[in-house]
């Protein structure tokens, strides 16, 4: 029996990964993380999406301990989400260690379930500059976790080399374009669908959406 576990946020990327995985695996389990995020609404959205799309199970992990070690505009309401980069060259929405923790816990859960595939929507092409979204990072932590658990495990990143327009195209190919557009949450301020329109996550998502729609319209007209 083929089993997969998805690190699932209820956003555009992880939902696209879920839709793609469902027909491929006998069981698809989702894991969502509560880390005290500003956009906590994403947990409720993730629950709704998993229920509607029909994943095998959905586990919500409380990892608020992350906030005892670090601070970010995504986890502290008193830190406004800024469009400016910090002195270290990273946006203040970067949560150090977040994806290290998320992938480690997801892989531990996969081990427990007997799954050999972990799926994440991380992407290096269109992203906010977070170092833990890069392919080198994923490959390194994948190797470390296989060695540390002595369990053959593949961390898949179906969107790693896709820009946002191509991710929208994939959603359309999977016949879930409108669903993902209207029911997922990417916005750092917790606004479902088109979002607040101002945060970097919303701007990246909308830019990709506009690019895909324009390209699709041009193809139809030709």
Is 56 among the annotated ligand-binding positions?
A: no
Condensed to tens digits (0 to 9), the pLDDT of residues 36-63 reads 776 678 899 999 999 999 999 999 999 8
Residue 137 annotated as binding site:
no
pTM metric for this prediction: 0.90
196 labelled ligand-binding: yes
Q: Does residue 174 have a known ligand-binding role?
A: no
Ligand-binding annotation for 13, yes or no, is yes
Query: Is 94 labelled a binding residue?
Result: no
**Number of domains making up the chain:** 1
List the domain range (segments joined by +) for residue 92.
Answer: 3-221
202 is in an annotated binding site: yes
- 53-107 pLDDT, tens digit each: 999 999 999 988 877 777 666 665 665 555 555 666 666 667 778 899 999 999 9
CB 75 within 8 A of CB 69: no
- The answer to whether 133 is annotated as binding is no
Q: Do 18 and 28 contact (CB within 8 A), yes or no?
A: yes
- The residues, ordered by sequence, that sit 6+ positions from 200 with a Cβ below 8 Å of its Cβ are 81, 83, 91, 93, 128, 188
CB atoms within 10 A of CB 150: 7
Is 10 annotated to bind ligand?
yes
CATH number of the domain that residue 158 is part of: 3.40.50.620
The answer to the question of whether 222 is labelled as a binding residue is no
Q: Is 12 annotated as a binding residue?
A: yes
25 annotated ligand binder: no
Q: Is 195 part of any known ligand binding site?
A: no
């Amino acid at each position: 029996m083929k089993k997969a576990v998805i690190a699932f946020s209820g956003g555009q990327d992880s939902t696209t990964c879920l839709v793609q995985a469902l027909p491929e695996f006998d069981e698809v389990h989702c894991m969502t993380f509560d880390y005290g995020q500003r956009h906590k609404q994403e947990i409720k959205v993730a629950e709704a999406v998993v229920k509607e799309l029909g994943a095998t199970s959905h586990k919500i992990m409380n990892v608020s301990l992350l906030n005892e070690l670090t601070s970010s505009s995504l986890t502290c309401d008193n830190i406004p989400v800024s469009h400016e980069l910090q002195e270290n060259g990273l946006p203040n929405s970067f949560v150090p260690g977040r994806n290290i923790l998320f992938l480690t816990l997801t892989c531990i859960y996969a081990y427990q379930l007997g799954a050999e595939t972990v799926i994440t929507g991380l992407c290096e092409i269109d992203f906010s500059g977070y170092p833990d979204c890069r392919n080198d990072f994923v490959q390194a932590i994948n190797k470390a976790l296989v060695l540390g658990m002595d369990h053959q495990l593949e961390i898949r990143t179906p969107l790693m080399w896709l820009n946002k327009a191509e991710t929208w195209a994939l959603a359309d190919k999977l016949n879930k374009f409108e669903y993902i557009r209207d029911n997922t949450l990417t916005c750092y301020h917790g606004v479902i669908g088109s979002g607040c329109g101002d945060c970097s996550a919303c701007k990246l998502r909308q830019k990709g959406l506009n690019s895909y729609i324009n390209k699709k319209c041009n193809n139809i007209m030709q």
